[in-house]
Structure 1
Amino acid sequence: MAPVRKILIADPDLESVRSLSRALRTKGYQVHYAPDGSRALEVAVLRHPDLTLFDEACRLLDARTFIQILRTNPRTEDIPVVLTTASFESDRLRGLRDGYLRKPFNLDEVLSRIEHIFRRSEAAKDLKSEQQEIEGSLSQLSIPDLMQLLGMNRRSGRLSLERGNDRGEIAVAEGRP
C-alpha cells in the first residue's frame, strides 16, 4: 500500500481551508494547515509535505520568498508549491514552476491538478534514481556481490578497479559484463 500523501494548505481564509481540507481528506490525503507564510515554512520543514497549496494572501512571508527558501534547503527543494489566488493578474503569476489555482476553487480542477503534479513528481524521482551514479570506495564489497548488485539494477557504465599498482576495468551494459 502506498504511503498517505501529505498536503500543506497555507491560507488565512478558514472557509477555503475547510472546503479544501474536506475534499482532500475524502480522497485520502493527510492535510496540514498553516494560517500564514511563516508557520507554513515551519510546517514544511518539520512535516515535509508532498505538496503545498500556498495562498498569496498569507502574511509574514510572501509566496515568492517561501518558495525561494524551500528551494535552497535540500530537504525541501523538491516540494511542489501551487499558488492559490483570487487575483486575475496572470502576468504576475507566470514563471511559477508548479502553477497556480484561482479562487473560488473548482474542487474537481484542484484534485486533478494535484494528481497531475504527483504523477509528474513520481516520474522525476524515477528518472533521478535511474540516472544516479554508483561511485566511491567499494572495498567492503566483493566483486561477485558488486556484479550482482549491478545486474539487479540493470546498471550500465565502466567499473574501474584498483589495488596497489594493479588496475582493471569492467564494462557493464544493463547489468551484464
Structure 2
Amino acid sequence: MQLRVIWVLIVVLLFSQLIYWLIDRGDTGKNVVDTLDRIDEVLDIQNHTDEKIRIQDDKLIYQGYKLDSLKISYAAFLVKYNQKMDSLDLALEQMQFAMDRMNERLTQKDKQLEEGIENITDLFETYKRKTNRDLRQIKNDIKSAFEQVAELQFFDKRVPDKYLLDEEEVLEQEQSAN
C-alpha cells in the first residue's frame, strides 16, 4: 500500500512536470534571451560603474599623494617659519635691549643736563646777586663821588682867585649871580 501511494505520487509529479514543460516551453526561450540581454545591460552598467569607481579611486590616490607632498612642503615651511620667527624674536630682543640701554643713557644724560642746568642757574643767580650787589655798591660809590664833587665844587666856589671865601660869602655870590 505504501508502495502504491509512492508510485502514484511519483507518477503525478512526473505528469505535472511534463505538463509544465509543455505549457511553459515557448516562453522559456524568450525569457532566456531577455534574461541574457538584461545580464548584458547589467554587466555594461556594472562595468561603467566600476570604471567610475576606478577613476574616483585614482583621483583619491592622487589627492593622497598631493596631500602628502603638501604636508612635506608645509612641514618645511613651518620649520623655516619657526627659524625666522626665532631669529626675528632674537632681533627684537636685541633691539629692545639696545633701546633700553639707549633709554638709560639718555636718562643719565638728561639727569646730567638737568644738574648742569641747575648748576648754571645757581651760578647765574649767584652772579646776578653779586652783580646787583656790585651795582648797588657802584651806585653808592657814584653817589658819594657826586656828593664829594658837589662839596668840592662848593669848596671851589668858596675859594676865589686870590683868597678863600666862607660859606656865607659863597651863598651871597650865588644869589647875586642868579
TM range (shorter): under 0.3
Select the structure that is richer in helix: 2
Select the structure that is richer in strand: 1
What's the TM-score, normalizing by structure 2?
0.22
Q: Which structure is richer in relative contact order (CA contacts within 8 A, separation 6 or more)? A: 1
What's the TM-score, normalizing by structure 1?
0.22
